[in-house]
Amino acid sequence: MWTNSAYERVLPTPEGKEQFYNSYNSNNELLDVIAEALGEKVSNSDKTVKSVESYTSPAWAYRQADANGYKRALTEVIQLLTIRDTVK
């Protein structure tokens, strides 16, 4: 039923998976709003990092690395919130 390995590790029993799936489905609208808000944060982060002002700082490389990590983490959370696309 689940193809997301992150959930398979924390939901080892079929009953736990089924209970989680049912709970997830009853909260789809809420999770979609959260995922959309996080997606906007990713977009805004991209705009900030790519701005001309960001390159004037001597620490721009560190800021770039931090922004990349931030974007990667948000993207992973968005994927966890939108698992319905991976449920068969």
* pLDDT tens sequence across 39-86: 999 998 888 777 888 788 888 889 889 989 999 999 999 988 887 655
Question: Residue 34 pLDDT more than 80?
Answer: yes
Which has the higher per-residue pLDDT, 22 or 71?
71
* Residue pair 21/7 in contact by the 8 Å Cβ criterion: no
Its pTM surpasses 0.75: no
Say how far apart CA 88 and CA 75 lie, in whole Å.
Answer: 22
